[in-house]
């Protein structure tokens, strides 16, 4: 695992770039695992940290941790109520729509009950195609292989929401072993040195719980995903590590 990159830190919270493949914390499904983001960050800072949202194990990108239980409670409440803006970049199969709102209710997939017994919950994701590429190789049944760079902005927080929405729309994320297509996943792993889920959380913005300013965090891609962007001619879309605090917009009386 690469060393942790801190994106932001103050006396109340810290933001870090979570590497792909690293679990956030111990779970019942983590038998045999020895490294966890929570533990690595705690050891790095030499203090307790408290997760306030989640990223799937194969997803890389920005994650926020509170440094006290009180701040954790405030952030958890704000995040649960979707009082934040999230931005993801994904590489998908096919030429994705230029811009579209995906409004497909989703059933929970937590495994505690059969999926069919779970209620379908509202879920909305806005997607924008930023770029695309056509490769002169036959990966599936077509003589050329087409892929798109998609920006996804989830407006709700369902489990695997972006992955499931894009797959249902017909543009599965490369490297998604559950909702994607194995022939494309193998092609990227074997020929493009990209054996992972090509989904990264590159932006997060929310109201700071103490400073009462808007904290905007941006996160660069890891080296393998950045190299793929360079190879496809998408370097102009590479994000960079950046953070800023700005005044909140005036509220209506």
Q: Cα–Cα distance between 157 and 69 in angstroms, integer?
A: 22
Place of tokens 């995040």: 79
Q: Using CA atoms, how far apart are residues 208 and 71, in angstroms rounded to an integer? A: 10
For residue 149, the SS3 value is: strand
Which residue in the list 10, 43, 56, 131 is annotated as catalytic? 56
Q: Whole-angstrom Cα distance, residue 76 to residue 212?
A: 16
Per-residue tokens: 193: 């040195």
CB within 8 Å of 107: residues ≥ 6 apart: 115, 116, 118, 119, 120, 121
Cα distance between residue 113 and residue 105, in whole Å = 18
Instruction: Give catalytic status of residue 43 as yes or no.
Output: no
The helix (run of H) or strand (run of E) holding residue 120 is strand 120-121
Q: In this structure, what token pair is assigned to residue 102?
A: 């995906």
Q: How far apart are CA 175 and CA 181, in angstroms?
A: 8
Cβ burial 137-174 (10 Å sphere, 16+ → b, else e): eebeeeeebebbbbbbbbbebbebbbbbbbbebebbbb
Residues forming the active site: 56
């Amino acid at each position: 695992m690469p060393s942790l990159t801190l994106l932001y830190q103050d006396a109340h919270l810290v933001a870090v770039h979570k590497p792909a493949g690293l679990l956030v914390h111990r779970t019942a499904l983590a038998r045999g695992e020895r490294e966890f983001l929570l533990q690595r960050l705690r050891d790095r800072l030499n203090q307790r940290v408290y997760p306030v949202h989640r990223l799937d194990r194969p997803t890389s990108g920005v994650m926020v941790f509170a440094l006290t239980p009180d701040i954790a409670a405030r952030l958890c409440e704000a995040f649960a109520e979707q009082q934040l803006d999230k931005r993801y970049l994904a590489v998908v199969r096919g030429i994705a729509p230029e811009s579209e709102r995906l409004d497909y209710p989703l059933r929970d997939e937590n495994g505690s009950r059969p999926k069919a017994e779970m209620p379908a919950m509202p879920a909305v994701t806005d997607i924008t195609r930023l770029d695309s590429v056509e490769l002169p190789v036959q990966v599936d049944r077509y003589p050329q292989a087409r892929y798109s760079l998609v920006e996804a902005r989830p407006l709700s927080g369902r489990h695997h929401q972006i992955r499931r929405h894009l797959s249902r729309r017909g543009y599965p994320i490369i490297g998604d072993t559950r909702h994607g297509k194995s022939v494309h996943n193998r092609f990227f792993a074997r020929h493009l040195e990209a054996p992972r889920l090509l989904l990264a959380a590159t932006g997060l913005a929310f109201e700071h719980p103490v400073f009462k300013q808007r904290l905007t965090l941006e996160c660069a891609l890891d080296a393998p995903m950045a190299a793929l962007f360079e190879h496809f001619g998408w370097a102009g879309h590479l994000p960079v590590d950046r953070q800023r605090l700005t005044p909140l917009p005036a509220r209506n009386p």
